[in-house]
Structure 1
Amino acid sequence: MNENPLKVLFLASEATPFAKTGGLADVAGALPKTLKELGHDIRVVMPGYGFIDREKFMIKEFMAELTVPMNGQTEQAAILETTIGQAPVYMVYSPKYFDREGIYMYHDDADRFVFFCRAAMEMLKRIDWAPDILHCNDWHTAIIPNWLHTIYKDDPFFNRTASIYSIHNLAYQGVFGHRVLEIAGVAKYQFMIPPGVSPENQINMMGRGIFFADLVNTVSRTYAEEILTPEYGQGFDWLLRERRDRLYGILNGIDYEVQNPATDPHIYRHYDLNHPELKLENKTALQREAGLAEEPNTPLIGMISRLSDQKGFDLVGQVIEAMMDNLRFQFILLGTGEERYHHLFNSIKDRFPDRSAVYLTFNASLAQKIYAGSDMFLMPSRFEPCGLGQLIAMRYGSVPIVRETGGLKDTVSNYNPATDSGNGFTFKKYDALAMYTAIVRAIETYRYRERWRTLVNRGMSADFSWRNSALKYVDLYRRALNIRADHPVPNEFLNVPG
């Protein structure tokens, strides 16, 4: 049992298995569960979206009514409760804000997530549970570090509470009109904000999270370095450089109980590190289901991704036809995205029907079958804060082909046959020819069965479980508590009127 357990509230707009659009949900569904297993009092709070199946997830009412201050008035919320593993999960429910078919992209998103955050803060006071750490994630909860130094600054309940702000993707910042300053209750504190954190007459939620949090982290060491540059900083490289002494990179993990080829209910045949040859049965079954030629010795490259330039599809688009014409391999794609890429891959499927399979949708079961059945997994991202696909692929014995950026660089090292080192194939320059060359190297290496088995075993035996990452978060939490007595804003940024 942990002798010095921390009390942590993990705030997120989505969490697996209840609601998911991206990697944040995977983190929110796995990190708290692991922290709980380490003996910490970790609790999760998220919106109680109307589409969440309350019966399936055994969600019950925890608090029938909670009064939430909002724009000088009050509104009502209900608090629901369930669990992730042994970790309690609170859900803020309001028909006005959360009875929607989706999670994001509504005209009142700013109001919705300000309400969610304020309800979470007021709920803590109502249940008399003062956390050591408020762990905020992405723009949806970025206002909370701001509040700890404005509207809750003199509230003794939060006197000893520190804030961590995690950036999962710096590109999505939550920029809204000036009226949101009033809704969030921070308009009169504008003097604290340096020029550049928010556009004129607007509020940039992520900028405030970066500026006010006691510590900031992102989801890989390399991405933490990349966002200090104009190329990756999305307009905040200057602010992140000023706060670099409080910026950390902690790699995401994957849930080894869920991502386990020995027990995965979705795949065709279970296998493990001791019986990797059974992976071949998954490959032939996938070829059969996808309408590909059943050729066990032909390398099968998988992709599971949003079809966008960020994910490198502009590179793939430039060379996919040449690859299919000149290289001996099969290709399977699962994902949705930009319409131009839908057209491109449909045409590839029509031209090469027994060598390419294209699923322009998302299907969780098929995704697992692709991880289990593919020989290689392609992720040529322009930028990738962490990336989970390459971690799952290695867990399932699919060798990653990636661009050296963000978490991809931190987890995949280039195979060198001379030294027998590396666990995948990488390329550095964001260039179609560089990607093509890496794919050629992978296909050539595949011909040498002993070398390939070594690569497969190396990936399957690596430890990318959440436990390693969770221990680093515990260290980060303790660092934040140690500096809590200091003002989180660097002195040179303070612009207090005389």
Structure 2
Amino acid sequence: MKGRLKVLMVAPELAPLIKVGGLADVVGALSKALAAKGHDVRIVIPKYAGLRHDETEQPLDQPLVVHLGDHEAYARVWEMPLPESRATCYLLEHDEFFNRASVYTGPSGNEKDNGRRFTFLSRAAIDLCYHLDWMPDVVHCHDWATGLVPVYLNTNERDAPMGCAASLMTVHNMQHQGWFPPDLMAYAGLPASVYRPDGLESGGELNMLKGGIYHSTKITTVSPTYAKEIQAPDGGCGLHDLLRYRAGDLIGVINGVDYSEWDPGTDKLLPHNYSLKDMSGKAACKQALQEAFSLKVDPHVPVFTVVSRLVDQKGLDLLAAIGDRLMQTMQIQIAILGTGDPALEHLFRDLAARHPGRFAAYTGFNNQLAHLVPAGADFLLMPSRFEPCGLSQLYSMIYGAPPVVRATGGLIDTVEQYIEGEGKGTGFLFHDATPDALYDTIGWACSTYYDRPDDFRQLQLNGMSRNYGWDESAAKYEQIYRWAIEARLGG
């Protein structure tokens, strides 16, 4: 199939409207890139109370009827262009499920009705296509929250117009799968026959991600190495056998970066811009970073930074374990921006209290700081236990801060190992997920900064000169869409 494609994106979050993690960035940037190539791209997300509003939002004339198992529900649909894009967004307003500031979690953890909330999203996305009289060629689903869309297409919609649409499931993180009691089947209105081990059933519960992987025409994940890792027991989180079964349809595609938002030469959130040709502004950003985190202003001391969710996956407990030792043995500063595990937040606040002016932690999210940190940093720390792709390491290389990363998942695919004295590489990789391995690699980076300044400078230039944009990845998704459409139509 050649020519313009009609692509429906279904996602629980979308940058810049509502963001929890990298999934939102990917959906927004990929949609923008595909639309720029001339494709008809439309995106469906819930209209959360915490969603960023825009004066371009316009309600559709008629409410959307959502056909669930034992009843019909209704949603008001708002239409708007994706900012700075030719793609179109549809926002589903349904107060019972989405009139909340957050996406997945409430004050006490995961929302108890997440099963119904995201079943509603999946069913509503399909019903919206009928409502608009617009049938997509491919429906691109993102993570467990949209896992029922391919199941609907293969069952209830199989002999209906939407049944001709191919489906693509992108797995952003295998750790999150969407487990719910089996009585969700009746609410969804799905046939009982799909609740089985080679479908939705897993350990006596309904597993949305499993159903989406099993029923999708094609499957992608966000890096080639992660596509291999999730087929092994350690990486597959219980679904490795299914992923090996679908291995012929599983493809890893590296995420890209939206340079309209992440470019030190044009970034409006920075106090000073800079580029490969003129790096002087980076020193000014470093001073601004030190001031913002109450670190001692010193242009000669390397600043190591973290921008991350503070969770077990990210391996930041390894950093907490060596925090005091780093402060005692190395002339460095550390600045942490993130939120998550209260225990980790407490550990980092304690380290900051013990080492004022040298160790700092901002527990929360601040978009301006999220841009200032890579701009002012000398290095990024990313000791992840697993990392499907990661975006922070890409941002840090673009902003001239070589990353220190564990060799896993997308970090292997995006960070090139530094080779001393040869001017090669973009960062520092280590293999063992241990405090000592992280300590030694930080020491290696530190000695490079002090003892081999020409190598450090070359690492900065290497990272800044690479192209991490969406063009190549968007072209791969175009090809995967066409493969999926051909497979759905029988070759």
Query: In the superposition, relative to structure 1, how do residues 204 and 384 fare at CA in structure 2: closer, same or farther (>3 Å)?
Result: same
Is this contact kept in 1: 2:97–2:117, CA < 8 A? Answer: yes
Is this contact kept in 2: 1:63–1:80, CA < 8 A? Answer: no
CA offset at residue 418 of structure 1? 4.3
Asked if 1:344 corresponds to 2:347, the answer is: yes
Aligned residue runs from structure 1 range 51-130, under 5 A: 51-54=50-53, 56-84=54-82, 85-104=85-104, 105-130=110-135
CA offset at residue 356 of structure 1? 1.4
**Alignment correspondent of 2:425:** 422
Distance in 1, Cα, partners of 2:288 & 2:476: 40
**Alignment correspondent of 1:437:** 440
One-letter amino acid matched to 2:426 = N
114, 132, 137: which one aligns with 2:137: 132
Is this contact kept in 1: 2:47–2:98, CA < 8 A? Answer: yes
Q: For residues 367-396 of structure 1, what are the alpha-carbon distances to aligned partners after superposition, in whole Å with 9 as ceiling and x for unaligned?
A: 111110000000000001110000001111
Distance in 2, Cα, partners of 1:175 & 1:246: 24
Q: For residues 343-381 of structure 1, what are the alpha-carbon distances to aligned partners after superposition, in whole Å with 9 as ceiling and x for unaligned?
A: 211121111111112111111101111110000000000
Query: In the superposition, relative to structure 1, how do residues 21 and 457 fare at CA in structure 2: closer, same or farther (>3 Å)?
Result: same
One-letter amino acid matched to 2:382 = M
CA offset at residue 265 of structure 1? 1.6
Asked if 1:468 corresponds to 2:465, the answer is: no
185, 188, 192: which one aligns with 1:188: 192
Distance in 2, Cα, partners of 1:294 & 1:317: 23
**Alignment correspondent of 1:173:** 177
**Alignment correspondent of 1:477:** 481
Query: In the superposition, relative to structure 1, how do residues 173 and 286 fare at CA in structure 2: closer, same or farther (>3 Å)?
Result: same
Is this contact kept in 2: 1:414–1:423, CA < 8 A? Answer: yes
433, 451, 454: which one aligns with 1:450: 454
CA offset at residue 51 of structure 1? 2.8
Q: For residues 58-116 of structure 1, what are the alpha-carbon distances to aligned partners after superposition, in whole Å with 9 as ceiling and x for unaligned?
A: 21102431111112211111111111111110111111221112111221111111111
Query: In the superposition, relative to structure 1, how do residues 419 and 476 fare at CA in structure 2: closer, same or farther (>3 Å)?
Result: same
Query: In the superposition, relative to structure 1, how do residues 286 and 200 fare at CA in structure 2: closer, same or farther (>3 Å)?
Result: closer
CA offset at residue 194 of structure 1? 3.1
Which stretch of structure 1 is more off in the superposition, 348-357 or 6-15?
Answer: 348-357
Q: For residues 166-207 of structure 1, what are the alpha-carbon distances to aligned partners after superposition, in whole Å with 9 as ceiling and x for unaligned?
A: 00011110110011111112242237x435852354210000
Is this contact kept in 2: 1:219–1:250, CA < 8 A? Answer: yes
Secondary structure in 2 matching 1:231:
helix
366, 380, 385: which one aligns with 1:382: 385
Secondary structure in 1 matching 2:236:
coil
Is this contact kept in 1: 2:69–2:190, CA < 8 A? Answer: no
Secondary structure in 2 matching 1:482:
helix
Query: In the superposition, relative to structure 1, how do residues 338 and 443 fare at CA in structure 2: closer, same or farther (>3 Å)?
Result: same
One-letter amino acid matched to 1:451 = D
Gaps of 5+ in 1: 488-498
Q: Provide the aligned C-alpha RMSD in A.
A: 1.6
Secondary structure in 2 matching 1:266:
coil
One-letter amino acid matched to 1:345 = F
Secondary structure in 2 matching 1:33:
helix
Distance in 1, Cα, partners of 2:482 & 2:228: 22
Secondary structure in 1 matching 2:43:
strand
CA offset at residue 486 of structure 1? 4.8
Distance in 1, Cα, partners of 2:350 & 2:464: 35
Query: In the superposition, relative to structure 1, how do residues 63 and 15 fare at CA in structure 2: closer, same or farther (>3 Å)?
Result: farther
199, 208, 215: which one aligns with 2:202: 199
**Alignment correspondent of 2:107:** none
Asked if 1:314 corresponds to 2:329, the answer is: no
Count residues with an aligned counterpart.
483
Which stretch of structure 1 is more off in the superposition, 470-479 or 288-297?
Answer: 288-297
Distance in 1, Cα, partners of 2:275 & 2:423: 22
Give TM-score scaled by structure 2 length: 0.95
Which stretch of structure 1 is more off in the superposition, 208-217 or 64-73?
Answer: 64-73
Is this contact kept in 2: 1:150–1:189, CA < 8 A? Answer: no
Is this contact kept in 1: 2:293–2:362, CA < 8 A? Answer: no
Distance in 2, Cα, partners of 1:195 & 1:265: 50
CA offset at residue 455 of structure 1? 0.6
One-letter amino acid matched to 2:101 = E
CA offset at residue 419 of structure 1? 3.4
One-letter amino acid matched to 2:51 = I
Query: In the superposition, relative to structure 1, how do residues 130 and 271 fare at CA in structure 2: closer, same or farther (>3 Å)?
Result: same
Is this contact kept in 1: 2:158–2:164, CA < 8 A? Answer: no
Query: In the superposition, relative to structure 1, how do residues 425 and 179 fare at CA in structure 2: closer, same or farther (>3 Å)?
Result: same
Distance in 1, Cα, partners of 2:483 & 2:188: 28
Distance in 1, Cα, partners of 2:490 & 2:192: 22
Distance in 2, Cα, partners of 1:469 & 1:430: 29
Is this contact kept in 1: 2:154–2:163, CA < 8 A? Answer: no
Distance in 1, Cα, partners of 2:320 & 2:200: 36
Asked if 1:209 corresponds to 2:212, the answer is: yes
Secondary structure in 2 matching 1:24:
helix
One-letter amino acid matched to 2:280 = E
Gaps of 5+ in 2: 105-109
Secondary structure in 2 matching 1:472:
helix
Aligned residue runs from structure 1 range 395-414, under 5 A: 395-414=398-417
Q: For residues 131-184 of structure 1, what are the alpha-carbon distances to aligned partners after superposition, in whole Å with 9 as ceiling and x for unaligned?
A: 1100001111111111111110111x1243100000001111011001111111
Secondary structure in 1 matching 2:235:
coil
Is this contact kept in 2: 1:36–1:42, CA < 8 A? Answer: yes
One-letter amino acid matched to 1:117 = S
Give TM-score scaled by structure 1 length: 0.94
Secondary structure in 1 matching 2:17:
coil
Secondary structure in 2 matching 1:64:
coil
Is this contact kept in 2: 1:97–1:112, CA < 8 A? Answer: yes
Q: For residues 423-477 of structure 1, what are the alpha-carbon distances to aligned partners after superposition, in whole Å with 9 as ceiling and x for unaligned?
A: 1000012121111111111111112222111110111111111111111100110
Distance in 2, Cα, partners of 1:63 & 1:18: 23
